[in-house]
């Protein structure tokens, strides 16, 4: 099969099979690789090949009122992240990977590190989010200080910076602006770290807010609401969704499988206070009863914290 046959085959894909332009280009690249690398032949220039047309698509532009109506139904850190995405033009991972040192309140700027094309850039800090962001960082700093007292407080550093500055991972400047709610143990160093808030948390919050916007009647005016702490017993968008009978786009009840995944699972919780009171025995930390509130100082892990038993034993002496 030579050049004319290849050209006829590729043209038939566009004319008879009505494939997309990307599909035709992928088949062409595969055939060129086959002839050049495997068969050792060079195909002539396929001038008579009929190219599949790439249709022009118009983007979906959301109005300002629609954006503000959706933001009303988001609470907590996802609400603040949504303001930064909309007001500063940040991408999803650029917002999730913000560190404390990248926020400049004096100049009202945010430094984006390693953005698209691995380039850094400066973006303006929205004035509507500056005050709430400052209060959010105060709460994050208190959480970081509590982690330091418990032997944790580490974060991942870019590149080989962790080997150059061994203790920089516990400094306040390198902490995530939006940290995760759980720890993880880094295998090589054994450090107890916090990852940044997973991007799917914001995606699910925005998706749920859009669903609520379509079902819950809106009121006039948009008031700025504070960033609620994680342990505040406030009704969030998911609670409002259940109360209105809407959850994950279903106007009726949630499916049984999703209800099972939505239920809190009883996990083995290791509490520093419980270890100290019981002499540092990790086996004494039993599972909490179903439905019982779990203290925020407790860490859900698969095993005891390294060195916790030894510290508790010294404290008992």
Given a cut of 50, whether residue 105 has pLDDT beyond it is: yes
Return d(Cα 152, Cα 177) in angstroms, integer. 17
Most confident of 98-102, 223-227, 259-263: 98-102
Return d(Cα 209, Cα 236) in angstroms, integer. 11
How many CA atoms are closer than 13 Å to the CA of 8, on its beta-carbon side?
5
Buried/exposed code over 40-71 (b: 16+ C-beta within 10 A; e: otherwise): eeebeebeebeebeeeeeeeeeeeeeeeebbb
- CATH top class, domain 1-57: mainly alpha
Return d(Cα 50, Cα 29) in angstroms, integer. 15
Q: What is the DSSP string of 137-182?
A: HHHHHHHHHHHHHTT--B---STTHHHHSTTGGGSGGGSBSSEEEE
Mean pLDDT over the full length of the chain = 75
Report percent pLDDT > 70 for the chain: 68
**pLDDT on residue 196:** 95
Q: What is the DSSP string of 210-237?
A: HHHHHHSPP-SS----PPPPTT-----H
Q: What is the mean pLDDT of residues 94-101?
A: 95
pLDDT greater at residue 300 or residue 150: 150
Burial of 248 (0-12, 13-18, 19+ CB in 10 A): middle
Q: Homologous superfamily of 63-145+196-253 in CATH? A: Intergrase catalytic core (1.10.443.10)
Locate CATH 1.10.443.10 in the chain: 63-145+196-253
Locate CATH 1.10.150.130 in the chain: 1-57
Given a cut of 60, whether residue 296 has pLDDT beyond it is: no
Question: Which contacts qualify for 180-187: CB closer than 8 Å, 24 or more apart?
Answer: 181/230, 182/299, 182/300, 183/152, 183/299, 183/301, 185/301, 185/306, 186/154, 186/156
């Amino acid at each position: 099969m030579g050049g004319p046959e290849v050209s006829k085959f590729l043209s038939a894909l566009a004319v008879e099979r009505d494939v997309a332009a990307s599909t035709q280009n992928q088949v062409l690249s595969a055939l060129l690789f086959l002839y050049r690398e495997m068969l050792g032949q060079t195909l002539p220039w396929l001038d008579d090949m009929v190219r599949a047309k790439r249709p022009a698509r118009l983007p979906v532009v959301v109005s300002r009122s629609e954006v503000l109506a959706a933001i009303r139904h988001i609470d907590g850190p996802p609400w603040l992240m949504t303001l930064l995405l909309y007001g500063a033009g940040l991408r999803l991972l650029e917002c999730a990977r913000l560190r404390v040192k990248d926020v400049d309140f004096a100049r009202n700027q945010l430094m984006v590190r390693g953005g698209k094309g691995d380039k850094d850039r400066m973006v303006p800090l929205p004035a509507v989010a500056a005050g709430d962001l400052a209060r959010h960082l105060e709460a994050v700093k208190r959480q970081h200080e509590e982690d330091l007292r418990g032997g944790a407080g580490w974060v991942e550093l870019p590149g080989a910076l962790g080997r150059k500055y061994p203790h920089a991972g516990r400094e306040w400047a390198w902490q995530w602006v939006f940290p995760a709610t759980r720890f993880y143990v880094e295998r090589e160093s054994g450090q107890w770290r916090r990852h940044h808030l997973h991007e799917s948390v914001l995606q699910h919050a925005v998706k749920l807010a859009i669903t609520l916007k379509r079902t819950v009647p809106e009121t006039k005016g948009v008031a700025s609401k504070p960033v609620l702490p994680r342990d505040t017993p406030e009704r969030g968008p998911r609670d409002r969704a259940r109360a209105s009978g809407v959850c994950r786009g279903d106007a009726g009840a949630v499916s049984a499988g999703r209800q099972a995944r939505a239920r809190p699972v009883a996990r083995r919780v290791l509490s520093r206070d419980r270890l100290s009171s019981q002499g540092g025995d990790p086996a004494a930390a039993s599972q909490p009863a179903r439905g019982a509130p779990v203290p925020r100082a407790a860490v859900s892990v698969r095993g005891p914290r390294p060195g916790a038993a030894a510290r508790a034993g010294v404290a008992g002496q």
